[in-house]
Structure 1
Amino acid sequence: MGRQNVSHSVAEEALSESPWAEEPPMTAVRCEGASLPDTFRAVARRRPDAPAVQDTGGALTYGQLDAASDRIAAGLRARGVSRGALVGVLIDRTPDTPVALLGVLKAGCAYVPLDPSYPRARLRQVSEDCALTVVLGDPRTAEDCGLGALDVVERDACAAHGGEAPHGGVPHGGVPHGEVPHVEIAADDPAYVIHTSGSTGRPKGCLVSHGNVLALMRHTLPLFACGPEDRWTLFHSASFDFSVWELWGALLTGGTAVCVPADTAREPEEFLDLLERERVTVLSQVPSAFRALSRMAAARETRLALRYVVFGGERLDVDVAAEFVRHTAPRPPVMVNMYGITEATVHSTVKFLTAADLADEGGASIGRPLPHVEISLRDDELRPVPDGETGEILIAGAGVALGYLNRPDLTAERFPTLDTDTGPRRFYRTGDLARRTESGELEYLGRNDRQVKVRGFRIELGEIEAALRAHPAVRDAAVITGASREGQALIACVVHRDPDPGRPARAELRSHLATRLPTHMVPRRFVFVGELPLTPSGKLDRRALDVRTGAGGDPRP
């Protein structure tokens, strides 16, 4: 099979190209024990007084976080919640959420994140899919989310701040301090269930184990030379698995997770202020959300402590990364492009962008597989494709999740066991397309199900979007499809630098594209929007664009 399956360390190459190469890399991450709680406890014993999680109200030390989450675990066990149960957690952007997540794990359970910003129908579907009976969170919020019929356990305020029980009594759940149950947790036990959208409209829950997360951290964190002095943003919703990388990346290296309030996350200027004020060193971002932050950095002088900006979740166009680097010189952060998927535990490949990469136009390479990952590119018949040809990304290795909750048929379909040079291996079929370049890196080419056909031509929408962003008057752009009298038509949704661009701007953009793309790839309609809508996890919300433009509704001229 030759180079079809690649799994090797990229640490030496990546760190040698980094402007932080003079700093000694970590040779190992101490993932002691088989579970996340065991590993966390080892860090907490070494650094009890160091800040673990911080927000605008102050910080929880490792010792306080350990004690507070112990009380959550004890409270759950006292209510009869047994090992292996799924427990819902109503999430917010405060230290309460890390306390609750860790407490659920210490009880031997798996957490199910429930984001109150999601529609009630979606939360109800998730709750029913997981057969939830217990939810940690505010009862009023649970009622507002349509979850009031469940057993809602209010997270004790004293637990979130490492203090004593109210009035010196017993913490919530009826368990005195010190009576913390010890639960044996195996590496294959589920740690969380994150739901992703399904083609049938029914969300599917992905079961990810403690061993999956520990493998990611053990093999990936040494590439970044992260340590106790690093401060990571906790920017993403726990319903989005980027949050797993952010939280455990901080806690397993003895660093600090800095909670980013939801309102701040939506305001680029406030977010930039937070990065500067809190001396954040590791920032993780979806490219759609990062564009606005990059523009704000270009508009004002900043003094950032950033060491790394880690991209994931979407294709990265290098122009946005290059712009940020230019405006944070002379000591800019290292820009890192990572590819991954929930079913393979957050990240599967890495590319540390060099100056040459940033000077290139178009999309960034997604690099090479992480050390614990094997990637094979295969055709529709699941046969390996030659180097240079396009194939579907299949992922094997320690990051591949347990499967889908209560969906054995779908699990069997998406997690096939295939023959390799080293024997049968279990893979995850991503539905993403890539090709392996002469350098051995992977070039991401989009989805095998996002390709559209207009007038008989197969079109990748990302190519049109990149051409639009190349116009100096375009701040951002997305292309969708909609109905027309002739059938499916392309619609360009453009964030223009002129707040009232008008008809001449449409003609100018059409001419601009006509010089770069074939006629069949020039959108029929141009719709100007103030900003592109994003989902709660920071990705482009194409469904909202469909509603805004009328795509899929009545045909338009």
Structure 2
Amino acid sequence: MGSPASVPGTVETSPTGISSLGDAFRAMVRNGPANVAVRDGHRELTYRELDLASDRIAASLRANGAVKGQLVGVVIDRSTHTPAALLGVLKAGCAYVPLDPAYPERRLRHVVQDCGLEIVVSGAQAVQGCGLDALRVIDPTAGDDAGEPPAVEIGADDPAYVIYTSGSTGQPKGCVVSHGNVLALMHSTLPLFDLSTADRWTLFHSAAFDFSVWELWGALLTGATAVCVPAETARAPEEFLELLRRERVTVLSQVPSAFRALCRISGENDRDLSLRYVVFGGESLDLDVAGEFVRRTAPRAPVLVNMYGITETTVHATIKFLTEEDLDGKGVASIGVPLPHVAITLRDRAMRPVRVGETGEMYIAGAGVAQGYLNRPELTAERFLTLDPQDAPRRFYRTGDLGRMTESGELEYLGRNDQQVKVRGFRIEPGEIETALREHPAVRDAAVIAHESDRGTMLLAHVVHRDAEPGRPAEAVLRRHLAERLPAHMVPRRFLFLPELPLTLSGKLDRAALRSLAGPSGNGRR
């Protein structure tokens, strides 16, 4: 019998005297005011210039009635204005709510209503395009005067942002993350890397995806440069590869599916890349793909780092620096060991600790655990629990992820204990898509599953049309219907039309039967 599968970690918070992200950023301004903080294809800002730009936005927010603790929307394409807007909101004592302009208007309106947003930082044109023109708009590009920065005392427990994730009940839910949560992540994680002010990090992900938190603050709290990747470039591997070369990027964060697409079009001249680290998260990492990239880029291959985490535990909770021995193996990479600021325990269905080598659900405690879900006290109580481990009662987040601890003390990710799936790093509740499908008058029932294909994980929708309708609804019609309600990453790639959904003997949906219907090719066509 092994010992209980629990990794306590050493919980740390933030450097002494720094309780807010604004204070941490100002320390970097003092250390290197002339260093380039952020750049895009059109302009760049030094740390001093970014400090002044964010002060101007903070002053404008306060002048427009924003108060400490208020939620403020941010709708900006990835550019030098993005860090200025996010910093400005935080310096005003507010918390930012990222609103991706690519999301459908219906979803954005739900977030605005759920948060009670009254103010948004954005260009007027972007707001109109999102249908949010009723909000008071602060234009981050307006005016040249810095304005007097507001004197707001901000503590570690004050909210920094609210990011929305997919919800099983048909509506997304907002997770509230504090300044202290983010500072704990950075204070715990960044010393594990060999970083300097000479590094150049990509801002590859939308601010509505929590990987952006690691990218932005990883760069700004080490005095490095954040290189903005336009959304259209992020979707075009050839253009993105060229950007990596042109901008001499040294730190790249990727979900494995995006990295797989990048590897398909790269070649022998990968040795021209300046990459020092490639950090993975959001999905299981295929060791074959990672190993091939390292072999192609040798002898200047970057260090590959596999990390695991979720929005509710502030981006990252574990880390694994991959070795040559790891990359020579097959299958999926280990997710490593807990970061110093968190603790992870594995429990069975009765919430009893499991032993080494046994499968259990991962519960995460420590300084990374978020405050909870906005306006959802019942769901918060269900997922954020106080457990009584051997040392003392602590607050844990129940992840729903299954794992196993090896004899070496590392964790292996084994999937979900519910229907939640991950596609391109996004957490998706199939129930939210199914609810949207059933809203179409021609759809009687629907079920959505994740299916593995040769191009990675994809969503496959099984649809039962109403008997009263002549024939079945066209796939294009359902796509348009979903695109009006859901982000693009939640629209299934394939649709399969059935007379009835398969059920088990107990009358429940038979998801195993659905997976067999998709067939080995993964194309989902019938």
3-state SS in 2 of match to 1:416: strand
Deviation of 1:358 after TM superposition, in Å, equals 0.8
Q: Is the Cα contact below 8 Å between 1:480 and 1:542 reproduced in 2?
A: no
Distance in structure 2 (CA, Å) of the matches to 1:145 and 1:129: 16
Shift of 1:451: 8.6
Residue number in structure 2 paired with 1:385: 354
Structure 1: which amino acid aligns with 2:51?
Answer: D
Alpha-carbon displacement from aligned partner over 1:374-415 (angstroms, at most 9, x marks no partner): 001111221111111111111000000011111111101000
Instruction: Indicate which of 204, 219, 226 corresponds to 2:173.
Output: 204
State the AA in 2 paired with 1:336: V
The answer to whether the Cα contact below 8 Å between 1:312 and 1:340 also exists between their aligned partners in 2 is: yes
Scaled by the length of structure 1, the TM-score of the pair is 0.77
Query: Is 1:151 the counterpart of 2:136 in the alignment?
Result: yes
* 1:78 counterpart = 2:63: yes
User: What is the SS of the residue equivalent to 2:215?
Assistant: helix
Report the CA distance shift for 1:331/1:350 in structure 2 as closer, same or farther (over 3 A).
Answer: same
In structure 1, give the amino acid aligned to 2:186: M
- Aligned AA (1:544): P
CA distance, structure 2, for counterparts of residue 383 and residue 252 of structure 1: 39
Shift of 1:149: 1.2
5 and 419 in structure 1: CA distance in 2 versus 1, 3 angstrom threshold: same
Q: Which amino acid aligns with 1:112?
A: V
**Cα contact 2:458–2:492 (8 A) shared by 1:** no
d(CA) in 2 for partners of 1:385, 1:412: 23
- Amino acid across the alignment from 1:241: D
- Give the letter aligned to residue 492 of structure 2: A
C-alpha contact (below 8 Å) 1:276/1:302 kept by paired residues: no
Residue 58 of structure 1 deviates from its aligned partner by: 2.4
Asked if 1:4 corresponds to 2:5, the answer is yes
Q: 1:319 Cα deviation (Å)?
A: 1.5
Is contact 1:231-1:257 (8 Å) kept? yes
Is 2:72–2:95's contact at 8 Å kept on the other side of the alignment? Answer: yes
Question: Normalised by the size of structure 2, how large is the TM-score?
Answer: 0.82
SS at match of 1:306: coil
**Distance in 2 between residues matched to 1:97 and 1:49, nearest whole Å:** 19
2:492 alignment partner in structure 1 = 544
Distance change (3 Å), C-alpha of 1:437 and 1:481: farther
Is the 1:237–1:243 contact (alpha carbons within 8 Å) kept by the matching residues of 2? yes
Cα distance change on mapping 1:410 and 1:294 into 2, 3 Å: same
Q: Is residue 227 of structure 2 the alignment partner of residue 226 of structure 1?
A: no
Pick aligned residue for 2:31 from 43, 46, 56: 46
Cα distance per residue 1:157-185 (max 9 Å; x no partner): 45xxxxxx2xxxxx5xxxxx452211100
Change (3 A) 1:119 1:451: closer
- Does the 8 Å CA contact 2:68/2:92 hold for their aligned counterparts? yes
| Residue number among 272, 277, 288 corresponding to 1:319 in the alignment | 288
- 1:549 alignment partner AA: F
Cα distance, 1:7 vs structure 2: 3.6
Matched-pair contact (CA < 8 Å) for 1:308–1:334: yes
| Aligned residue number for residue 103 of structure 1 | 88
**CA 40–395 in structure 1, closer or farther in 2 if over 3 Å, else same:** same
The CA RMSD measured in Å over matched residues stands at 2.6
Please say if 1:353 is aligned against 2:301: no
Preserved CA contact (<8 Å) 1:231 1:255: yes
1:497 alignment partner in structure 2: none
Q: How do 1:141-540 and structure 2 match up within 5 A?
A: 141-158=126-143, 165=144, 171=145, 177-298=146-267, 300-450=269-419, 465=452, 474=454, 476=456, 478=458, 480=460, 482=462
Q: Which runs of 5+ in 2 are unaligned?
A: 422-448, 465-482, 502-524
1:283/1:118 Cα in 2 relative to 1: closer, same or farther (>3 Å)? same
Highest RCO, 1 vs 2 (Cα 8 Å, sep ≥ 6): 2
Write the deviation string for residues 327-366 of structure 1: whole angstroms up to 9, x where unpaired: 1111101111100000000000001111111111111100
- In the TM superposition, residue 554 of structure 1 has moved relative to its aligned partner by 7.4
Aligned AA (2:113): E
User: What is the total number of aligned residue pairs between the two structures?
Assistant: 454
> Share of identical aligned residues, percent?
63
Measure the CA separation in 2 of the matches of 1:252 and 1:52: 10
Query: What is the Cα deviation at residue 368 of structure 1?
Result: 0.5
Deviation digits for residues 206-251 of structure 1 (CA, Å, limit 9, x no counterpart) = 0000000000000100111212111100000000010000000001
**Shift of residue 116, structure 1, vs aligned partner:** 0.5
Q: Which residue of 2 aligns with 1:69?
A: 54
- Given residue 279 of structure 1, which amino acid in structure 2 is its aligned partner? R
